[in-house]
Amino acid sequence: MPRQLHQPDRYPLTSKYDAAWLLDLDMGPNPLWLLEDLARDLALKPGMRVLDLGSGRGATSVFLAREFGVDVVAADLWVDPAQAAATFAQAGVQVEAIRAEAHALPFEANAFDAIVSIDAYEYFGTADSYLAYITRFLKPGGRLAIATPAMRQEIRDLGEIPAHIKACVGWEAVAWHTAEWWRFHWAITGLVTVTAARLQETGWADWLHWARAGRSPGRDSVIAMLEADRGELLTFALVTAIK
């Protein structure tokens, strides 16, 4: 029996997409809801060259190409690019799919107008040196925009990874930060100007809603984490900066 996904009204662009298609591409929480919200802080225009970094099974790249008419490169480590390419062909969008490790990207400097990363940057982007590396691929004036699992308080300030979070994701939660952590971490370098760094007010509720409908193998433990959290700590951060 397929699970139902009721799409919230606050994501009108995503609501046009078939829920079963979205859930078939599930690798983590509500990528298109995150991207639709993040895109409000971006100024994407047709013809721009955009890197979707950690693009997974490709729903976000389809959305970028269709909704904004941008020219997308979908780069991911775990997903076979042939599988992503089949999704793009089926969706009727021209998106280049490549396998790439986020620290060894096969691009020229200044190659992109925007780099977008949905629920992926936390896997590779928290090291102090990473911003200097990734912004090398942005044109001057280009934008870096991420949606990443976030905390309402820093784990450093809490003194530990809360038990309900540790039970689900273990040590990996050390990469989950507040929006202000991201703002400072990027702004202090002088490499970019941070134009938005916000926590999603509906992030926890969206995440739980998606997890309940989703099909990923770890969903029960994600649901348990979110239910125990009650929205007190967990949400998503949406961070955008201009080079």
Ligand X SMILES: C[S@@+](CC[C@H](N)C(=O)[O-])C[C@H]1O[C@@H](n2cnc3c(N)ncnc32)[C@H](O)[C@@H]1O
Q: Least separation, in Å, of the C-beta of 57 and ligand X? A: 6
Choose, by CB under 6 A, the member of 36, 37, 76, 113 that binds ligand X: 76
* DSSP 8-state symbol, 2: P
Choose, by CB under 6 A, the member of 7, 14, 60, 178 that binds ligand X: 60
Q: What is the b/e burial string over 18-36, where b = at least 16 CB atoms within 10 angstroms of the residue's CB?
A: ebeebbebbbbbbbbbbbb
Compute CA distances 204 → 15, 134, 200, 237, whole Å: 19, 28, 8, 11
| Residue 101 vs 201, nearer CB to ligand X | 101
| Cα–Cα–Cα angle for 53, 55, 59, rounded to 5 degrees | 140
Segment lying near ligand X (by CB under 6 A), choices 3-11, 49-57, 198-206, 233-241: 49-57
Taking each continuous run of H as one helix and of E as one strand, the counts in the chain are 10, 7
| Residues numbered 86-145 forming contacts with ligand X, rule: CB under 6 A | 101-102, 118-120, 123-124
**Binding-site string for ligand X from residue 175 to residue 214, where x marks contact by CB under 6 A and - marks none:** ----------------------------------------
Q: Least separation, in Å, of the C-beta of 123 and ligand X? A: 4
| Residue 180 vs 220, nearer CB to ligand X | 220
Q: For the sheet containing 95-99, what is the strand order?
A: 95-99, 71-76, 49-53, 112-118, 138-151, 234-242, 193-199
Choose, by CB under 6 A, the member of 54, 81, 162, 214 that binds ligand X: 54
DSSP labels, 152-189: SS-HHHHTS--HHHHHHHGGGGGG-B-HHHHHHHHHTT
Choose, by CB under 6 A, the member of 72, 73, 79, 131 that binds ligand X: 79
Q: Which residues bind ligand X (CB under 6 A)?
A: 27-28, 31, 54-56, 59-60, 76-79, 101-102, 118-120, 123-124
